[in-house]
Amino acid sequence: MKFPLYFSKKIAFSKDNKNNLSRIIVFIGRLSVALGVIVSLITVSTGLGSKKAIKERMADFSGHISIKSKQSNNSYNSSVLSSEGFQLEKIKALPDVATTQKYVASSGILRNEHNFAGIIFKGVGKDFDRERFQKFMISGALPKFSEDGFDSGILISQKIAGDLQLKVKDSIVAIFSKQSQSPIYRKFEVTGIYKTDIKLIDDLFILGGINHARRIQDMEKTEIGGIDVFLKNINNIDDDAPIIDKLVGYKNYTIKATDEYPQIMDFIAIFDTNIALIITIMLFVVIINIVMVLLILIIERTNSIGMLKTLGATNGQIQTIFINYTLLIMVPGLLIGNFIGLAFLLLQKYFGIIKLNPENYYLSVVPVDLNIFYILGISFGILLVSAVALVLPSYLISKISPVKALKYN
C-alpha cells in the first residue's frame, strides 16, 4: 500500500482523533455531503421520473408516432388515410414497433340537462391496445370495440364526467356538425371513465367505436383516418420517426407525440434546467464545506506536517495524505445520504406520499425513476469533484516550514 493512502487511513480511523474541534468539523463536513447527496438524488430521480411519466402518458394515449392524411390540415376531423405508398406491414415489422392501432376522429359536443362539453370523438377498432390503456381507467370497463356493428359504449374522461355529472352506465347525446348538412345526433352509454392527468387530453377526448366515427365522417367500412404507432422505447422516437415517415406514402404524414403537444414539451424542458441548477448549487455547498474541513485539518495538524517533512516526506505526498484524509471523512456522509435519499424515494415510489395538481403539473403524484447509474454517478461525482477542488487549497501545505511547525508544537 502506498505511503500517502496508508497514512491517510491511519489518521482518519485513529481513536486519538476525537478532540472537540475535529468532531465538530468532521460532523459539518459529513452533514453537508449527506444533504448534498439527498437533495441531488431526489432532484434527479423525481425530475427524470416526471419527464418520463409525462412523455409515456402522452404516447400511451395517442401513440408515440401518429400517421395522418395531409388532407386533414391539422384538423381534429380525420380525412381518409391514403393507401398510395402506405406500407403498414413494413411499419409493423420494424424492430422498435410494439403495436399499431387504427382510428377515425371527429369533433363534436356532448350535451345533457346539466351542461355541455366540446369533445373529440376518437373511434377505435378491434386492434385497440386495451392493455396499454388499462392503467388510465378509474371506473367501469373498456368497451369491446369489435367493429361488427355500432357499439354504443364510450369511454369519457373524469373531467368530462364531472362537468356533465355523468357516471358509468349513464346515457349521453353527442352532436356532430357537418358542412352543408344537418347536425348528426348519436346516443351513447358511458361504460368507463379514464384519467390521464394530461389536461389537453382529459378536457377533450372520448373513445368509442370506429364505425360510429366512420359514419360521421362519411367513410367506407374499410377506410381509416389515422394510425397510432406504439414503440417499445419512447427514447427511440426521434430515430424511428424518419424511418416510418418514408413508409407512409406522399399523401400522408407522421407526427411525433412530442411534437403534437409542444406546450407540454416546453414544460418538460424546464426539468433539465432545474435539475442542473439544483445539483450545481448543492455541489458548490459541498465543495465549500469540504474545503473548509481540509483547511482546518491542515491548521490543526501543522505539527504533524512539520514532522512528516522532517522525516523526508515531499509536499506532494503530504498533500495527497490530507486529500485522501478529507475524502475518507466524506464516505460516511455519502452512505448516510444515499440511505436516507433512497429510503424517501422508495416510500414515494410505492406509496405516492407527495401529491401534485395535475392541472399544473400533468401528474397527480410525484413519480420516481430509480436508475442505478444516476445513483452511483451522484456519489462518485461528488467524490471526484471534491477531490479536484481540494487540490488548490492543499498547496497551503507547501508553505508550512518544518522548523516553524515543530516550534508551533
d(CA 80, CA 69): 6
Least-confidence region, from 1-5, 80-84, 202-206: 1-5
For position 41, what pLDDT does the model report? 95
pLDDT digits (tens, 9 = 90+) for 78-121: 899 999 999 999 999 999 999 999 999 999 999 888 788 999 99
Tell me the pLDDT tens digit for each residue of 183-201. 889 999 999 999 999 988 9
Residue 308 confidence (pLDDT): 72
pLDDT at residue 360, rounded to an integer: 84
Whether the CB-CB separation of 210 and 103 falls below 8 Å is answered with: yes
pLDDT for residue 159 = 93
Q: Please, what's the b/e burial string for 379-388 (b: 16 or more CB within 10 A of its CB; e: otherwise)?
A: beebeeebee
Specify the pLDDT at position 358. 86
Q: What is the mean pLDDT of residues 263-280?
A: 88
Q: What is the pLDDT of residue 173?
A: 92
* pLDDT tens digit sequence for 5-30: 666 666 665 655 555 566 777 788 88
Across the range 315-330, mean pLDDT stands at 79
Per-residue b or e along 187-215, where b marks 16 or more CB atoms closer than 10 Å to that residue's CB? ebebbbbbbbbbbebbbbbbbbbbbbbbb
Across 28-86, the runs of DSSP E, i.e. the strands, are 65-69
Check if the beta carbon of residue 191 is closer than 8 Å to that of residue 145: no
User: What is the residue-wise DSSP string for 365-378?
Assistant: B------HHHHHHH
Pairing assessment for the beta strands 181-194 and 153-157 based on DSSP bridges: parallel
Q: In this predicted structure, what is the pLDDT of residue 13?
A: 59
338-374 pLDDT, tens digit per residue, is 999 999 999 999 999 999 988 888 888 999 999 999 9
Question: Does residue 67 surpass a pLDDT of 90?
Answer: yes
Instruction: Give the three cell numbers for residue 328.
Output: 475518507
| Top-confidence residue, 230 or 293 | 230
DSSP 188-234: EEEEEEE--S-HHHHTTEEEEEHHHHHHHTT--TT--SEEEEEES-G
Q: Residue 6: what pLDDT?
A: 65
What is the per-residue burial (b if ≥16 Cβ within 10 Å, else e) of 256-283?
Answer: bbbebbeebbebbeebeeebeebbeebb
Considering the chain, what is the average pLDDT of its residues? 86
Q: Say whether pLDDT at 66 is over 80.
A: yes
Cell of 111: 350535451
Confidence at residue 238, expressed as pLDDT on a 0 to 100 scale: 92
Instruction: Give the predicted TM-score (pTM) of the model.
Output: 0.81
- Work out the pLDDT band at 315, boundaries 50, 70, 90: confident
**pLDDT computed for residue 391 by the predictor:** 84
Mean predicted confidence (pLDDT) in 288-304: 79
* The predicted structure's pLDDT at residue 292: 85
Residue 156 confidence (pLDDT) = 95
Closest Cα partner for 50 from 198, 194, 195? 198
User: Is the CB of residue 318 less than 8 Å from the CB of residue 308?
Assistant: yes
Residue 80 DSSP code: P
Which one has a higher pLDDT value, 318 or 105? 105
CA angle at 232 for the pair 209 and 256, rounded to the nearest 5°: 65
pLDDT greater than 90 at residue 295: no
